[in-house]
Amino acid sequence: MSGSSGRTKRNLEALEGDLASGRLHHALLLQGKNLSALEKGAIHLSRKILGAPEETEEHPDLFHLRPSGKARLITVESTRELISDLNLSASQGENKVALLHEVDRMRREAANAFLKTLEEPPRGTFILMLTTRPHSLLPTIRSRCLQVRLEEKFEELEDEEWKSWLNSYKAWIELASDREAVRRDIAAPVFIANGLILSFRSIIARKANEVWAHRKQSLPEGIDEKEIDAMEAGVRKGTRATLLAALEERTRDFAISLAEEHGQELAGRKLAQVIESLEKAAGLLEVNLKEETALEYFWLSSLRTWTAK
């Protein structure tokens, strides 16, 4: 049975409803900006499919496929191993779940090897594929899945250093928007931007280390060093994505406050340009551009936008 190439915005409750009524599609391509949020949602849905307790981290009928190695790729060898596992009978109950993390990291030969399983999976098999870059997948993969963009709720980070950084970022936007102040000292916004970039990268590194330290305590048995290295890199990527999403939300908030002073139309136009720059920087990071270079691009682009008439 071929999947649908259309995209629908759903929440987990709706997918659980599809499962309860026997209408859950066997292959879901779960999309979103935050990989960590996607993983949490997929694990939650996997528990429902398998009838596992909410606190269960792993299950004998839950099979993970993750990028591995320094290149963080999903290889054809690991894909064939997953296919072999899925062709075995379920250990408990009737269902099995294949959870493919960062499926956009799947090599072409691995994707081609997986097509038949994706289109005609073994009985009782559900395939959950996670990506923050759906258009990087082969069209033949996307067309066989129901594409679901999970609704993401923004949650403010409870971190004092982050809150302090946001205050500095807001002050920088206010300075950059004050054309008289910039005319008096054109170098100040640039120097402050450099400091914001350095401290932003420091926060990313610290938060990623905290998340990884927690994640390492519950790694599944039998996972090899290449997978561990790739998972650690994925944690940093996910942490960075979370902070960039938070940065986007706060930028919107700050622009709204500026609208009262500079006019709704002008502030709205500038906000759209700044968000576009942020999204482009995030896209550059996805293709492995150096973090510092991508962030410098965002702040310099933002500076030009905020200081413009």
CATH of the domain at 123: 3.40.50.300
Residues 176 and 303 in one domain: yes
Q: Look at residue 261 in the predicted model and tell me its pLDDT.
A: 64
Q: Look at residue 267 in the predicted model and tell me its pLDDT.
A: 67
Q: Look at residue 223 in the predicted model and tell me its pLDDT.
A: 77
Q: Write down the pTM of the prediction.
A: 0.67
Angle formed at CA 209 by CA 161 and CA 156, multiple of 5 degrees = 45
Which of 119, 150, 181 delimits the end of a domain? 150
Residues 206 and 125 in one domain: no
Which of 123, 150, 177 delimits the end of a domain? 150
Sign of the CA dihedral running 126, 127, 130, 136:
negative
Q: Look at residue 197 in the predicted model and tell me its pLDDT.
A: 95
Residues 46 and 72 in one domain: yes
The domain containing residue 203 runs over which residues? 160-307
Note whether residue 95 is domain-resident: yes
d(CA 35, CA 103): 11
Q: Would you state the torsion angle of the CA atoms of residues 43, 45, 48, 51, taken in this order, to the nearest 10 degrees?
A: -40
Residues 141 and 171 in one domain: no
Q: Look at residue 1 in the predicted model and tell me its pLDDT.
A: 40
Residues 214 and 102 in one domain: no
Per-position pLDDT tens, the chain of length 309: 444 445 555 688 889 999 999 999 999 999 987 787 888 899 999 999 999 988 777 899 999 999 887 778 899 999 999 999 999 999 998 999 999 999 998 999 999 999 999 999 999 999 999 998 888 899 999 999 999 988 766 566 788 999 999 999 999 998 988 888 888 998 999 999 999 999 999 999 999 999 889 888 877 777 778 788 888 888 888 888 888 888 888 888 888 777 666 656 666 788 888 888 888 888 788 776 788 899 999 999 999 998 887
**Are 144 and 115 within 8 A, CB to CB?**
yes
Which of 150, 174, 197 delimits the end of a domain? 150
SS3 31: strand
What's the token pair of residue 157? 């980070």
Note whether residue 227 is domain-resident: yes
